[in-house]
Structure 1
Amino acid sequence: MFSSPSRKVRVALLGLCMALLLASAGAHAAPVGFSFGVVPQFEPRKLANIWLPILRRLEARTGFAFHLDGAARIPEFEQDFMRGDFDFAYMNPYHALLAIRANQYKPLARDYARQLYGVLVVKKGSPITELSQLQGKRLAFPSPNALGASLLMRTELIREHGLDFKPIYVKTHSSVYLHVLLGRADAGGGVMSTLQRQKPQVRDNLRVLYRTRSVNPHPIMAHNRISEPVRQAVQRALLAMGEDEKDRKLLSRAPILQIGPATLSDYAPLGDWGLESFYERPF
């Protein structure tokens, strides 16, 4: 027995409708996903503990999916963002300037409550009380291009204070502080926010010897391939998180204490500080 043409048409239409419904259901089940890179100021586990809760709240507010895409070392992070590997990224201000100049990323948000500045620490009780005493000494830094902790710090120590020292690069801010505490370096570069986040037995046994000039802190950036509606949606969600008490606590761990919109002009002054002479290209 053969089916009538009209029955075949009805079956085909039913199949098409089912396929469309399944496709629609699949689309709802799998939200649009984006990578989110974070400069590795801390070890990977600590970074994940800070940023994964932030990304989960960002997902809830936008309906997008975000996966944390990190690098173990700052030079690797630099290579990744300069290749445009990240859809969104939290990066240091000089990285932001480079990304803006390369027409790759646009700033979305930054902290309005504080400024970023580098601190040079020595062990508490150290006889070193003047910068001149660091002539020829071993100084620890996270990496050559960590802005406040190394790039700006080395620029000022050499150009403004005439120091000649032996730099050692130890990957993270936390490692810098431990190297100083254990006597493996005579002094080390960090930033105040990471110093304050150290365990008391580390933080309370270090002394700040010097601080650099200040700059607007790390921005959250969006790659230029991200559409304007998506960028605006993510920016609105980030700013809305600043209005929610629980979300503010999550952001404060980054640390972003008072989130607000970031602009290109926020980072333009860095171009006049002569940092390019001390910047080391990762590739």
Structure 2
Amino acid sequence: MKQIAVLVLGFFWFVSVAAQSFSFGVLSQRSAVLTAQYWNPILAYVGSKCGVTLELVTRKTAQDYSAAEARGEFDFVYSNHILAPSHAAAAYQVMARMAGAPIYGQIVVPQDSPLRGLRELQGRPVGFANNNAFVGYMAPMAALIQAGMTVKPVFGGNQEGIMAQLRAGAIPAAGVNSRVLQEYAAREGFQYRVLWNSQPYLNLPVAAHPRVPATVVTAVRAALIGMAADAPGQKILQASAAVIKQNPPWGFVAAQDGAYRNQREVYRIIWTKEGR
């Protein structure tokens, strides 16, 4: 009888988990169409492995997304805004990160720009995705402050939005995420030069809100990390990468909150400097 009871309880646990849906917030870096084309197949795969539904959620701009994330509206997130002081109350916990080389904050200009050095940006407009972006705002702004320079920030809504403005000549320079720019340039045929490069930082983390059951977090984490080693998963990753021109390696690797301590510190410095 005990064995039957355990089986019955296990069955009802499986049914309750399988019936659950969890929101998966993705920081707005690209258009909604590209974001959906990249993430929906990945989330469908992971959800099928875990017996849950993962629903892609984002916002029109990175600023709107960041505000919702700070309120803890998403169950899972792909975002480094969780490292900002404004997001501390939401208490998202890092569980994985995108595989591949580190990312860099860069200040870039079009290839044919007459600007040759960082000092030439003094007093000029400089584009950024939004004022919560890490490598696209925090890191380059910290470098500008350290150099004693003042610029006029122009915000583009998301990473590729400000890159489009740079490409169109609406702004002379932009602070960007190196990896997102590399992929954008490959798709759009955009040639650029780097005026400044940050130290390397870990790519954006995947994190879970404390309200998500630990069993679900563990299952989602395992499915993400194991995806690249599974033939169907590898095929999906490759197809998603082709959408945004993402170079290998693809997939996700394990990560913990402590590995992002240096990014939290940069956020803290800028938050203090800007009086937020």
TM category, shorter: 0.7 to 0.9
Q: 1:147 maps to what in 2?
A: 134
Which structure has the bigger radius of gyration?
1
Contact 1:100 1:106 in 2 (8 A): no
**Which ranges in structure 1 are unaligned for 5 or more consecutive residues?**
1-23
Q: 2:42 maps to what in 1?
A: 54
The match for 1:197 among 180, 183, 189 is 183
Secondary structure at the aligned position of 1:197 is classed as: helix
Contact 2:47 2:220 in 1 (8 A): no
Q: 1:20 maps to what in 2?
A: none
Q: Matched residues in 2 for 1:110 and 1:203: separation? A: 28
Verify: 1:276 aligned to 2:240, yes or no. no
Which string of whole-angstrom CA distances, capped at 9 and with x for unpartnered residues, describes residues 91-133 of structure 1? 12x5235488436211111134221211111111111111111
- Measure how far apart 1:279 and its partner are: 6.4
Output the aligned Cα RMSD: 2.5
Verify: 1:104 aligned to 2:99, yes or no. no
- Measure how far apart 1:34 and its partner are: 0.6
Within 5 A, what are the aligned runs for 1:2-17? none
Q: Matched residues in 1 for 2:239 and 2:74: separation? A: 22
Within 5 A, what are the aligned runs for 1:60-209? 60-92=48-80, 94-96=81-83, 98=85, 101-102=88-89, 104-159=91-146, 161-200=147-186, 202-209=188-195
**Pair 1:184–1:280, CA change in 2 (3 A):** farther
Q: 1:5 maps to what in 2?
A: none
**Pair 1:172–1:246, CA change in 2 (3 A):** same
**Pair 1:243–1:257, CA change in 2 (3 A):** same
Q: Matched residues in 2 for 1:263 and 1:99: separation? A: 20
- Measure how far apart 1:270 and its partner are: 2.5
Calculate the TM-score normalised by the size of structure 1.
0.81
Q: Matched residues in 1 for 2:99 and 2:116: separation? A: 32
Calculate the TM-score normalised by the size of structure 2.
0.83
Q: Which moved more, 1:244-253 or 1:137-146?
A: 244-253
Identity %: 26
Total equivalences in the alignment? 254
Q: Matched residues in 2 for 1:166 and 1:69: separation? A: 31
Q: Which has the higher helix share?
A: 2
